[in-house]
């Protein structure tokens, strides 16, 4: 039954990843391991003056066969449903109702892109209308497409995944920008560890070609307004983030469940911690220190591979870098990689992207080369049995995870 199992380890047995640099685990691995800092896909034209990392083209029909389904979705739902399908295929669970019907879904989601043309048209007419309120009601009634509501509706990424892929256990959608991604993975992880389920599909999707989100973030001066620069180089003024498209889904499975069906893990999720603060100077660092204290009993001193979701927004990004550097004083040799430099900020998908990258690297037994030429990102010399993932949300939320490798089993190579 869906809700009951035995407390167990959490294995990552499937990854579905689509971003601005590619599709699938192997394409990402190749792209990120060329011996040089990875090439970045930046679009500085479409939303100029704002840069974004655009979604690569995908052949939707391979994961969302029905045209009718594709038409009912917004871009972000198509991206997420596609990535979810990749994860299920990767875990060898696609089209297997005996598993999918009991599989639990935890999705991190915001809302879909508004119809910016309709909004603009209404705004143009509103000012000069004889009766602005009546004009607004009439325009909304006539111009909004009935399908737009569902294409934007937060929990309809999960709904579409259920419809297209047949995942029908429990279905929870969590929100809160990056916090949504952290709490989605934390919830599923704790459920498996606590014996409340043994098979989960968890992730999120963000489609970057949308001005409505840039408006929301620019209210707080949070967007990077200069030509592309990697995260650590955005230390001018308030810094800023560059939004990036990503769909990232993971199949999480209890060890027992995976072994019973002969599934090999990429990695194990050891712990996911999350907290928040109003972000006065030093508060995020204090949280991170507490989190690290809780995790360090499982982390040997010496070289430490770290993925960070740093956004580029200041002062948080510099504060985080100093926290990571200070791990030297604790006996560690931190080698960190800001994956936002390559992927951009993928909001709800941002933390799932980090977990996917960590799991891929662990299964390959090799950590990533530096993602930029800032010099902050040091060559990593240790073994690759565990990766620390640190993710501070663009506005709020401090997440930290330890992803490692289970004992007494063979890992799968990324395929």
Contacts with other proteins in 305-344 (CB under 8 A)? none
Residue 160 or 241 having the CB closest to other proteins: 160
Residue 161 or 361 having the CB closest to other proteins: 161
C-beta separation of 180 from 107 below 8 A:
no
For residues 64 and 81, give the distance between their C-alpha atoms in angstroms, rounded to a whole number.
7
Q: For residue 370, state whether it binds other proteins (rule: CB under 8 A).
A: no
C-beta separation of 122 from 77 below 8 A:
no
For residues 230 and 372, give the distance between their C-alpha atoms in angstroms, rounded to a whole number.
7
Q: How many positions of this chain bind other proteins (CB under 8 A)?
A: 84
Q: For residue 8, state whether it binds other proteins (rule: CB under 8 A).
A: no
Instruction: Mention every residue, 6+ apart, whose C-beta is less than 8 A from residue 266.
Output: 11, 12, 13, 15, 359, 360, 362, 363, 411, 412, 414
Residue span 272-311 as binding mask against other proteins, x where in contact by CB under 8 A, dash where not: --xxx-x---------------------------------
Residue 107 or 310 having the CB closest to other proteins: 107
Q: For residue 126, state whether it binds other proteins (rule: CB under 8 A).
A: yes
> Whole-number minimum distance, CB 181 to other proteins, in Å?
11
> Whole-number minimum distance, CB 109 to other proteins, in Å?
7
Both structure tokens of 278:
């109003």
Provide the CA 188 distance to its chain's centre, in angstroms: 15
Q: For residue 215, state whether it binds other proteins (rule: CB under 8 A).
A: yes
Among 83, 244, 399, 400, binds other proteins (CB under 8 A): 399
> Whole-number minimum distance, CB 123 to other proteins, in Å?
5
Q: For residue 46, state whether it binds other proteins (rule: CB under 8 A).
A: no
Residue 222 or 306 having the CB closest to other proteins: 222
Q: For residue 131, state whether it binds other proteins (rule: CB under 8 A).
A: yes
Q: For residue 85, state whether it binds other proteins (rule: CB under 8 A).
A: no
Q: For residue 6, state whether it binds other proteins (rule: CB under 8 A).
A: no
> Whole-number minimum distance, CB 220 to other proteins, in Å?
5
Among 60, 111, 286, 326, binds other proteins (CB under 8 A): 111
List binders of other proteins among 223-252 (CB under 8 A): none
For residues 346 and 145, give the distance between their C-alpha atoms in angstroms, rounded to a whole number.
27
Round to the nearest angstrom and report the end-to-end CA distance of the chain. Answer: 31
Both structure tokens of 82:
């596609």
118, with CB counted inside 10 A (0-12, 13-18, 19+), is middle
Q: For residue 259, state whether it binds other proteins (rule: CB under 8 A).
A: no
Name the DSSP letter for residue 375.
S
- Contact segment (CB under 8 A) with other proteins among 20-28, 129-137, 263-271, 368-376 equals 129-137
Among 92, 218, 283, 333, binds other proteins (CB under 8 A): 218
Please, where are the H alpha helices in 197-254?
Answer: 211-218
Among 169, 239, 247, 340, binds other proteins (CB under 8 A): 169
The neighbouring-strand residues paired with 337 are 307
Residue 83 or 167 having the CB closest to other proteins: 167
> Whole-number minimum distance, CB 410 to other proteins, in Å?
30
Among 56, 144, 233, 295, binds other proteins (CB under 8 A): 144
Helix (H, G, I), strand (E, B) or coil at 36: coil
Backbone angles phi, psi at 110, to 5 degrees: -105, -125
- Contact segment (CB under 8 A) with other proteins among 214-222, 254-262, 298-306, 378-386 equals 214-222
The string over 244-253, giving b where at least 16 C-beta atoms fall within 10 Å of a residue's C-beta and e elsewhere, is: bbbbbbbbbb
Among 6, 39, 134, 322, binds other proteins (CB under 8 A): 134
For residues 184 and 12, give the distance between their C-alpha atoms in angstroms, rounded to a whole number.
14
Pick the closest to residue 168 from 259, 104, 227 (CA basis): 104
Please, where are the H alpha helices in 296-405?
Answer: 316-325, 340-343, 350-364
List binders of other proteins among 91-110 (CB under 8 A): 105, 109-110
Q: For residue 65, state whether it binds other proteins (rule: CB under 8 A).
A: no
Provide the CA 312 distance to its chain's centre, in angstroms: 16
> Whole-number minimum distance, CB 321 to other proteins, in Å?
22
Q: For residue 271, state whether it binds other proteins (rule: CB under 8 A).
A: no
For residues 371 and 344, give the distance between their C-alpha atoms in angstroms, rounded to a whole number.
12
Residue span 170-209 as binding mask against other proteins, x where in contact by CB under 8 A, dash where not: xxxxxxxx-xx-xx--xx--xx-xxxx-------------
Rg, C-alpha atoms of the chain: 21
């Amino acid at each position: 039954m869906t809700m009951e199992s035995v407390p167990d380890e959490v294995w990552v047995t499937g990854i579905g990843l689509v971003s601005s640099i590619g599709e699938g685990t192997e394409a990402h691995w190749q792209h990120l391991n060329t011996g040089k800092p990875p090439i970045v896909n930046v679009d500085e034209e479409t939303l100029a003056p704002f840069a974004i990392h655009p979604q690569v083209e995908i052949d939707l029909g391979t994961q969302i066969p029905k045209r009718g389904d594709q038409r009912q979705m917004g871009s972000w739902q198509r991206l997420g449903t596609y990535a979810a399908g990749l994860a299920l295929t990767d875990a060898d669970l696609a089209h297997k109702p005996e598993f999918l019907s009991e599989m639990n879904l935890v999705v991190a989601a915001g809302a879909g892109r508004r119809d910016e043309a309709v909004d603009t048209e209404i705004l143009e007419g509103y000012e000069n209308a004889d009766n602005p309120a009546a004009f607004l009601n009439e325009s909304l009634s006539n111009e909004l497409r009935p399908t737009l509501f569902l294409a934007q509706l937060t929990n309809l990424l999960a709904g579409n995944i259920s419809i297209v892929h047949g995942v029908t256990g429990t279905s929870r959608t969590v929100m809160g920008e990056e916090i949504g991604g952290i709490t989605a993975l934390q919830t599923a992880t704790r459920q498996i560890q606590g014996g409340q389920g043994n098979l989960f599909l968890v992730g999120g999707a963000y489609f970057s070609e949308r001005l409505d989100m840039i408006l929301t973030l620019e209210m707080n001066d949070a967007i990077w307004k200069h030509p592309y620069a990697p995260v650590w180089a955005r230390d001018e003024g308030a810094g800023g983030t560059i939004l990036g498209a990503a769909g990232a889904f993971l199949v999480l499975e209890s060890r027992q469940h995976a072994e019973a069906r002969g599934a090999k893990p990429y990695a194990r999720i050891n712990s996911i911690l999350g907290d928040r603060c109003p972000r006065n100077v030093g508060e995020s660092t204090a949280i991170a220190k507490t989190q690290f204290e809780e995790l360090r009993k499982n982390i040997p001193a010496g070289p430490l591979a770290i993925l960070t979701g740093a956004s580029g927004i200041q002062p948080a990004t510099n504060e985080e870098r100093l926290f990571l550097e200070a791990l030297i004083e604790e006996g560690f040799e931190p080698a960190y990689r800001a994956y936002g430099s390559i992927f951009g900020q993928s909001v709800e998908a941002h933390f799932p992207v980090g977990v996917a990258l960590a799991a891929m690297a662990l299964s390959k037994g090799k950590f990533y080369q530096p993602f930029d030429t800032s010099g902050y990102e040091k060559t990593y010399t240790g073994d690759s049995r565990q990766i620390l993932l640190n993710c501070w949300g663009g506005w709020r939320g401090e997440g930290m995870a330890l992803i490692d490798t289970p004992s007494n089993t063979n890992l799968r190579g990324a395929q």
